[in-house]
Amino acid sequence: MFGQSSPILTVAPPQKVVARRNAEVTAKISISLGDGYHANSNAPHESYLIPLKLTWTPAPLAVEAVTYPKAHDEKYQFSPDQPLSVFTGNFDITTKFKVPADAAGGITILPGKLRYQACNNTMCFPPKTVDVKLPVEIR
Amino acid sequence: MFVARLSLAVAAILLLATGCSSSRTAKVAVKDHKDRKKAPEFALKDANGQTVHLSDYRGKVVLLDFWATWCGPCKIEIPWFQEFERQHKDKGFAVIGVAMDEEGWDVVKPFAKYIGINYRLVIGDDTIATLYGGVDAMPTTFLIDREGRIASVHVGLSGKRDFEDEIQALLRDSSTSVSAGLVRAK
């Protein structure tokens, strides 16, 4: 309901997080890449490659840090000498939020966007942006 | 250990030198004349702001390559296409690269200069992608015969030899079109 999918990359619907005013809260976004596909990591080795990036529309929470998993270096048919920094398979991205002291209580949806560019061993797919909707309960 | 690493390195070099022919995605043959469909016409700007129509190339064999600067497999094929352009341009052959980068010339021009691309580039859009069947993956390359019909399509990294064989076949196929004065493209 809250996640969106493509045949290549799937974002699982995030679980609701409960946040207390003037405290920190961490949300986990679970991502799955299909077999044989990879996405550039958040820090590709080459400047021309498009990094995977999760961004949030922060209000009513403030984004403190987005933490990506450790990427791994892989060689592909089209890059036999230069390994690429990629994500494959299942992985999580965590975001640490700060809840303002004056945040309104109740349940809200925090919108985010996951941008990525994926390839397999012989072809690449145009960059995509997936909407991510994080349910947040502020107490 | 060293010998194993050396063997792997040599294998990788040989793979590149042969245009990945041993691991190509599929061998694509030129279609029979009766099975060829007309390549959709387009009008796109080149790096100098000039409008490029496919019909400008009627009478030539055209390699139409959909690519992007962020596409690794495309970068393997580009040097092949540069070589084809050099080898065959005087025989009625031309390469047109359709860059699908959202940022347009801001990223394509520096990349093309860095690589030294010697063939004509245009910036693609959703319209041309739709006309050519969606172009969901890159590289996607069409070989178009002298009569403006699609003779073959390659999706993904293909073999250099496959392209070469198909270009040669298409150039042989209807070389009379050139002598008949149908070539209009510069």
Instruction: Render pLDDT for A34-60 as a digit per residue (tens, 0 to 9).
Output: 999 999 999 999 988 999 999 999 788
Interface-testing mutation among A38, A74, A117, A122, with chain B (most B C-beta atoms within 10 A): A122
- The distance of B181 to chain A (nearest Cα, Å) reads 38
Using CA atoms, how far apart are residues B32 and A107, in angstroms rounded to an integer?
Answer: 63
Cβ atoms of residues A12 and A3 within 8 Å: yes
Of A72, A44, A37, A42, the C-alpha closest to A55 is: A42
Partner residue facing B71 (CB), from A81, A84, A124: A124
CATH number for position B139: 3.40.30.10
Is residue B143 a part of any domain in this protein? yes
A71 — pLDDT class (breaks 50, 70, 90): very high
Using CA atoms, how far apart are residues B144 and B22, in angstroms rounded to an integer?
Answer: 25
Using CA atoms, how far apart are residues A8 and A6, in angstroms rounded to an integer?
Answer: 5
Chain B residue numbers with beta carbons less than 8 Å from the beta carbon of A79 are 72
E-strand ranges in chain B read 37-38, 43-45, 51-53, 61-67, 93-99, 120-123, 140-144, 149-155
Is residue B185 a part of any domain in this protein? no
What was the pLDDT predicted at B130?
96
Cβ atoms of residues A78 and B72 within 8 Å: yes
Is residue B186 a part of any domain in this protein? no
* Mean pLDDT of chain A, nearest integer: 92
CB contact under 8 A, A77 and B73: yes
What was the pLDDT predicted at B14?
38
Is residue B184 a part of any domain in this protein? no
What was the pLDDT predicted at B170?
96
The two tokens of residue B74 are 């495309």
CB contact under 8 A, A127 and B70: yes
Domain of residue B107: give its range: 2-179
Task: Quickly count: other Cβ atoms within 10 Å of residue A46's Cβ.
Answer: 12
What was the pLDDT predicted at A59?
80
- Specify the length of chain A in residues: 139
- pLDDT tens across the length of chain B (186 residues): 334 443 444 344 334 434 444 344 445 489 999 999 999 999 999 999 999 999 999 999 999 999 999 999 999 999 999 999 999 999 999 999 999 999 999 999 999 999 999 999 999 999 999 999 999 999 999 999 999 999 999 999 999 999 999 999 999 986 544 433 333 333
Q: A17 pairs with which residues across the strands? A: A136
Assess A119–B contact: CB distance below 8 Å, yes or no: yes
Partner residue facing A124 (CB), from B23, B73, B102: B73
CB contact under 8 A, A78 and B157: yes
DSSP A40: E
What was the pLDDT predicted at A6?
52
Assess B157–A contact: CB distance below 8 Å, yes or no: yes
Is residue B61 a part of any domain in this protein? yes
Cα of first residue to Cα of last residue in chain A, in angstroms, is 24
Assess B137–A contact: CB distance below 8 Å, yes or no: yes
Count of domains observed in chain B? 1
Task: Quickly count: other Cβ atoms within 10 Å of residue A136's Cβ.
Answer: 21
Assess B75–A contact: CB distance below 8 Å, yes or no: yes
Instruction: Render pLDDT for A95-131 as a digit per residue (tens, 0 to 9).
Output: 999 999 998 899 999 999 999 999 999 999 999 999 9
